[in-house]
Chain A
């Protein structure tokens, strides 16, 4: 009686908690359908319209509200996230592979890598800007900002791969080696398929973290804005519902990415199952 009462109470609380998490986003999504250009970012909804979505793509007649500078930023952010994804996944896999063996100084190396996700972006960003200034290197999103993005996402990839390798049965690899298969081929044929779900997760982490990252980019990139920097620029001025419409669209994009991930993950799990069945037969 008592326990079920507590369970009920906590259930109600958790529902409220989810409302707290989602409330602002729901309000933002509703307000993105405010009429324009005279409708502001608040209730009541004067008239439902998709004006601000059109405004985002420059399909509306010019008004006093400047369009968000996102067209170029989008491309830059995508490319940056791609580059970050590739490099940090490779670094993550190799570093985690090294950690499968015990070696002296592993504790120091572990904390050095994890430090990358702990140190706030504003600090590494500032440090990088100072280094670039001193060495006379020009700051660019594809240079100084890119290396900082990898510093941030590489630890995530590393930790994911570490968790994968922890549950990894290395006798399969050893069997392959003892049958005379070269290490490179063993990695391609045995190790990689086994760790693929981890690699996929690491890539997903790296891409989304980099795509959304801005405190590292703020100081380390030059004049060219990435997407988050373009949004950050709207903080200081009056907010219009076009930012909200943009928020809805990026969220949808993230979900699309997540579904691609889910499909690939499902495929790899199914393939693993099929191989297991073949082996049994």
Chain B
């Protein structure tokens, strides 16, 4: 009697679990399918095509390593790879250096919640302008007759306009730092805001100076924010090509620019090789950063 009741119960429970897992499957299926078809398949195709044979205007599905050999023996491509890594590292460092103090102020020193929100919103507002317009906005700033040169000449710091400001690697770095540093400020400020003020109070009461508190409490506790910010910035900078196209005057060629020019001249296989190299680079960077922090836990 009791046995049958128990088995009945188990049966219904199993049925409920089955129907709920079936429901989960149906809820997930569209999204997962979409991602498999339109994200995983294209990336797999890119990897596949990178081994195809490139003729002048066409690609043929005969497998070869030729495009890969061309990539790793050509100074242009290797140079682009190196430029990408260099610009990425510089911009990453610049966003931390430029963004951290601002995040420190917003996240830790501003106690008024309203002011804190206002400051964060002020940081985000520029994102409501088109990305391309924000990139382009640096041209009248940095140019030979641009705002910065004009101001510097007016106050007499320089007598000749600084020409290296625009259409150089420097202008690309300045532009990228301005566009991406907010992705650093946000996560850092978020982590700093979560620090329990009583810890800092306690350290103060025990006689620790600001630098000591910063080094032993604030910096370690804000590190997850820095890492999350670094993931955002890295992913975006590594995939960039518009900023360098707009601000470098074709002097800076990132892997992204290589892909765009190769596609433009129908060299699909070469573009695919550059794409795969970029994917591997990005995957390595993100994997290394994710080792430091669990993204899902921080959300």
Q: Do A and B come from one complex?
A: yes
Per-residue CB contact flags for chain B residues 74-109 toward chain A (1 = under 8 Å, else 0) read 000000000000000000000000110110111001
B residues 242-258 in Cβ contact with A at 8 Å: 242, 245-246, 256
Give Cα distance in the complex from A120 to B281, angstroms.
Answer: 12
A1-39: which have CB < 8 Å to B?
A: 2-3, 6-7, 10-11, 13-14, 17-18, 20-25, 27-28, 31
CA of A127 to CA of B132, assembled, Å: 23
Write out the residue numbers on chain A whose beta carbons fall within 8 Å of the beta carbon of B122: 18, 21
**A49 in the interface (beta carbon within 8 A):** no
- Asked whether B178 is an interface residue with its Cβ less than 8 Å from the other chain, the reply is yes
Cβ contact within 8 Å between A21 and B123: yes
Residues of A within 8 A of B150 (CB): 43
- Would you call A250 an interface residue if the criterion is a C-beta within 8 Å of the partner chain's C-beta atoms? yes
Interface contact A10-B104, CB-CB below 8 Å: yes
Complex: A141 Cα to B88 Cα, angstroms: 30
The smallest C-beta distance from A192 to any residue of chain B, in angstroms, reads 15
Cβ 8 A contact of A151, one of B34, B119, B132 = B34
Chain B residue nearest to A27 in the complex (CB): B147
Q: B residues within 8 A CB of A126?
A: 42, 46, 259, 263, 271-272, 275
Is A235 touching B46 in the complex (CB atoms < 8 A)? no
A137 on the B face (CB < 8 A): no
Question: Which residue of the partner chain B has the closest CB to A90?
Answer: B30
Contact of A116 among B35, B133, B136 (CB under 8 A): B35
Asked if A119 is at the interface of the complex by the 8 Å CB criterion, the answer is: yes
A-side contacts of B182, CB under 8 Å = 21
Q: Kindly identify, within residues 91 to 149 of chain A, every residue whose CB is under 8 Å from any CB belonging to chain B.
A: 91-92, 94-95, 97-98, 101, 103, 107, 109-110, 112-116, 118-124, 126-131, 133-134, 147-148
Taking residues whose C-beta sits less than 8 angstroms from the other chain, chain A's interface range is 35 or more
Q: How far is the CB of B165 from chain A (nearest CB, A)?
A: 13
Q: In the docked arrangement, what's the CA distance between A214 and B239, Å?
A: 13
B282 lies within 8 A of A127 (CB) = no
- Taking CB as reference atom, which chain B residue is nearest A220? B42
In residues 236-290 of chain B, which contact A (Cβ within 8 Å)? 236, 238-242, 245-246, 256, 259-260, 263, 268, 271-272, 275, 278-279, 282, 286
Q: List 27 A-B contacts (CB under 8 A).
A: A6-B210, A7-B109, A14-B106, A24-B134, A25-B134, A27-B137, A28-B133, A42-B140, A97-B27, A98-B27, A114-B295, A120-B235, A120-B238, A120-B239, A121-B239, A124-B38, A127-B43, A134-B45, A147-B37, A148-B38, A218-B260, A234-B136, A239-B139, A243-B133, A244-B137, A254-B128, A258-B128
A contact set with B: CB distance below 8 Å: 2-3, 6-7, 10-11, 13-14, 17-18, 20-25, 27-28, 31, 41-43, 91-92, 94-95, 97-98, 101, 103, 107, 109-110, 112-116, 118-124, 126-131, 133-134, 147-148, 150-151, 154, 158-159, 162-163, 208, 212, 214-215, 218-219, 228, 231-232, 234-236, 239, 243-244, 246-247, 250-251, 254-255, 258
Extra contacts, 19 of them, besides A28-B140, A130-B45 (Cβ < 8 A), are: A10-B102, A11-B109, A14-B101, A14-B105, A21-B122, A112-B39, A116-B35, A119-B282, A120-B282, A124-B42, A127-B42, A127-B43, A129-B268, A150-B38, A231-B132, A234-B136, A235-B132, A244-B136, A246-B133
Question: Sorted from nearest, which 7 A-B pairs have the closest CB atoms?
Answer: A120-B239, A127-B42, A247-B133, A98-B27, A24-B137, A254-B128, A10-B105
